[in-house]
Amino acid sequence: MQLLQSPRGTRDILPEQQPVWQFCLDTARKVAEQMGYLPISTPTYEEIALFERSIGEGTDVIDKELFLVRGRKSEEESYALRPEGTAGLVRSYLEHGMRTWPQPVKLYTILNCFRYERPQKGRYREHFQFDFEYFGEKGAFADAWVIYTGWRFYQALGLKNIGLSLNTLGAATERAAYSQKLVAYFTPLKQQLSQDSQDRLAKNPLRILDSKDPIDQEKKQGAPILLESIGEESKRHFQEVQNYLKTWKIPFEINPHLIRGLDYYSHTTFEWVARGREGSQDSLGGGGRYDGLLTILGGQDGGAVGTGIGLDRTVEEIISQGLAENFHLLAPQIVVLSGDHGIHSQAQEVIEELYQQGFWLDTYLGKESLASQMKSAGRSGARFALIIGADEATANQIAVKDLRSGKQELVPRSDLIRHLRVQFAHA
Ligand code: HAM
């Protein structure tokens, strides 16, 4: 029978790939908690309406990429797998009355997200994000804080050549007015646009600006500039964000065409990119301000800004910058062997004591012969093998073999832990 494979666009992260992933996840948790974010987890699936209302109908994520789920027998109930983290966190913030907590409330989560995309390198149907959100403040400092958090994360990973593209969409009303200007500009050019951009003209005209299709590039050049269409208040907010970033020495470029694929943003939007790997999959993370989403989802008016960092692409970047070589699976320190079934109970006691004392251990007692156990011990990377034979057990001794030098010595059972500690202290 043919072996089954993981579904298209999903991957197994195998043991040898885990250390670099764990490093990335541990770093994310550490940076977030060091910077005042509280951990939270939300469900993998939510009401479809949550995503439709927040991310917006007319976006690719909703119209083309949503994974729908329902129980086998409950035809009326249907849900969607989360395509991102923000909507769920906002829902949770509102549902649990976090507006009444002392503000700001900063939350972070590490989550898997599902988008029915055409898979390719760096683009998966299940991907992972480090998502952090800052609720309860409308001022520019909050925008700068989430950008600073992302910057601290990339720095803590040791990544080089990380760039930041920055833009503002202005207030929601300014964004809507600008959208009308774009429609007026692009409508006479409609036939000359790519098919995707023609569709966007009706559904989501701003997205024409971040089209990567070569057909659209020339037409985009003459389009009205958003930054020139926004009011003084919005300009001041954007300038303040930049001032904070300059003080923290976070390099950035203003990209007036940075629109982003989700509808909930107003004011600041940004994307983290791997410089030198420019292309459609170069976005390592992105985010922005989305105050309006709180009221759209039934809450009171308030501030909200956040970031989603793509961990699959971040891990790929760590590897391509040659930083993954330091990460390996940890070998056991000690392996416990015994070829004699009659004294397995003594071996079990030794294992229990080693474990209690905090040693990293493994054992091959499940294998029949001592010879095959020794073979596994040799491959394990462990420093010492403890060999428990019938004669040694009678004499209350254990043979300790240094697997590097091959030297073996008999150690009294009562002295075993002290002996091992001395050996490791000198290793
Ligand atoms: P997003 O730009 O859609 O934003 O996704 C954030 C990051 O997730 C991307 O920059 C990318 O690195 C990664 N990503 C997205 N789709 C895929 C995929 N199919 N395969 C691999 N990686 C992918 C959001 O999701 C917003 N919720 C960010 C946010 C948080 N805005 C405010 N708060």
Q: Is the CB of 86 under 6 A from ligand 1?
A: yes
Dihedral sign, Cα of residue 253, residue 140, residue 32, residue 34: positive
Q: Which residues pair with 52 in a beta bridge?
A: none
Ligand 1 centroid distance, CA of 207 (Å): 16
Confidence grade of residue 229 (pLDDT, cut at 50, 70, 90): confident
pLDDT at residue 406 is higher than 70: yes
Dihedral sign, Cα of residue 187, residue 188, residue 189, residue 191: positive
Question: pLDDT exceeding 90 applies to what percent of the chain?
Answer: 81
Q: Is the CB of 312 under 6 A from ligand 1?
A: yes
Q: d(Cα 131, Cα 56) in Å, to the nearest integer?
A: 19
Q: What is the CA radius of gyration of the chain?
A: 28
Crossing angle for the helix pair 18-34 and 311-320, to the nearest 10 degrees = 120
Q: What is the pLDDT of residue 212?
A: 80
Q: Whose CA is nearest to atom 21 of ligand 1?
A: 123
Q: Is the CB of 115 under 6 A from ligand 1?
A: yes
pLDDT at residue 76 is higher than 80: no
pLDDT digits (tens, 9 = 90+) for 168-203: 999 989 988 999 999 999 999 999 999 989 988 988
The closest of 179, 91, 81 to 135, measured between CA atoms, is: 91
Phi and psi at residue 399, in whole multiples of 5°? -85, 125
